[in-house]
A = this chain, B = another copy of it.
Amino acid sequence: MNDPASTRQKTRRAGSTGLGKVTLEMVAAAAGVSAATVSRILNGTAMVSDDKRTAVDEAIARLGFVPNPVARGLAGGRTLSVGVVTQAIDSPFYGGALRGIENTLTAAGYSPLFVSGQWSATHEARCIDALRSRRVDGIIVLTGRLSDAALAATARELPVVVTGRTMKAPGLCALDFDNFEGARLATHHLLSLGHRRIAFIAGDLKHPDGKERLRGYRSAIEAAGLAYEPGLVMPGNFTEASGLAAVERLIDSRHPFTAIFASNDQMAFGAGLGLHRRRLQVPQDVSLVGFDDLASAVYAIPPLTTVHHPVDELGQLAAQAMLQLLAGETPTLALPAPRLVVRESTREAGPARRR
C-alpha cells in the first residue's frame, strides 16, 4: 500500500507483454528463490536444479517478465547491443547490409544501434565514442574513413568488425570484397564483346573501393594488350551527378569510345542519363556496365549489366562475425567472390563513336 514504487509508477495498460513493470525481484519472490538464481537461469550462467528452474520459468511466463536491458547493461557490462557505423543511414548501397545486420543480430538477441559516419573520420570517431558511451558490446564499421590504427585501438577495448578493408588486429575481424577482381571481370566482359575503347568513370580514389576498381580496370585493359589511356578515365565520386558529369566531359573531349564502365551503379545511372541526353542509345551506341548490382539496376532502362556486390551477405556475415567475436571465437568468414550479372546494357562493339 505504502510502496513508494507503486506510488510513482503509473500502472496502466496491463499489456500482453507486461512490459516494464515486472522486475527480476518479483519473479524471484514468486518462484521462491533468490534474485541471483533467476539471473543465473536467465543468463545460463550456472547449473540450477530442475525444480527451481521450472518454478522460475513458470513465474517468468506468468508474470510476463522481460529483463530490463538498461539495468543489465549497468550491472553486467553487457548491453546486448552492437553499434553499427554506416556512412549514411539512407545509402542505397549499404541498405541491404543494414537489413542483413539487423536480421541476424536481432535473431541472436542483440539490438543494432545505427549511426551515420557521414564519410568523415572525425564524425566516425565521434560516433564510436557515442556508441561506447552507450555501452555497446561491439562495433561494426561499414568501410569508413578511420585509419586502420584507430580501428585497431578501438578493437583493444571491444570487438570490432570492419568491412571494405583488409587488416589484422587482435579483437578485430575485417571482411573484404574483391573489388579488383570485380572490376577486372566487368572490363573483361566488355573486351570480350569486342570493345577496345572502354571509358572508365572512377569513384572516389581516396576510397579503397574506388582505388581497387580503377586498378582492376587498368589491369584488364593492359592484360588485353591495350594501352591504358588516361583520356578515357573520368573522375567521379560515386554519385549519379558525377556519373552524368563524367559522360558529358567524356563526350565533349571527343575521345572515341564504345563502352563505359562506371565504378558503381549510381554513376552508371547518371552516365545513362548523360548518354540519353546526347541521344546515344544504350546498348546500341554505347555499352554500359556498373558495379554493385543495386536493387534498382534490374529496373534501369535498359536493365544494367553490373558486377554483383553481395551487400546482403556482407551484412549477415559482418553480424555473424561480431557474434563469434562476442562469443570469444575467431571468425573465419569470407565474402563470396564477385560475379558479373549480364543484363541488357551491353552488347557487341560497333564502330567507335566520335572518330
Contact = CB atoms under 8 A, between A and B. Distances in A.
Interface of A: 10, 12-13, 15, 17, 19-20, 66-71, 73-74, 79, 81, 88-92, 94-96, 98-99, 102, 111-116, 129-130, 132-135, 153, 156-157, 240, 244, 269-270, 272-273, 276, 296, 298-303
Nearest to A67: B133
Contacts of A303: 273
B114 A89 contact: yes
A240 B299 contact: yes
Contact of A79 (B70, B91, B102, B296): B70
A13 B157 contact: yes
25 contacts: A13-B153, A13-B157, A15-B129, A66-B133, A69-B133, A69-B134, A70-B73, A70-B74, A89-B98, A89-B99, A89-B102, A90-B99, A92-B95, A95-B95, A102-B115, A102-B116, A111-B134, A113-B113, A240-B298, A244-B299, A269-B296, A273-B300, A273-B301, A296-B296, A300-B301
A301 B300 CA distance: 8
Contacts of A301: 272-273, 276, 300-301
Given A67-B133, A81-B134, A90-B96, 11 more contacts: A19-B132, A69-B135, A70-B73, A70-B134, A89-B114, A90-B99, A99-B116, A102-B116, A240-B296, A244-B299, A272-B299
Contacts of A68: 74, 133, 135
Contact of A74 (B20, B71, B111): B71
A88 B99 contact: yes
A95 B99 contact: no
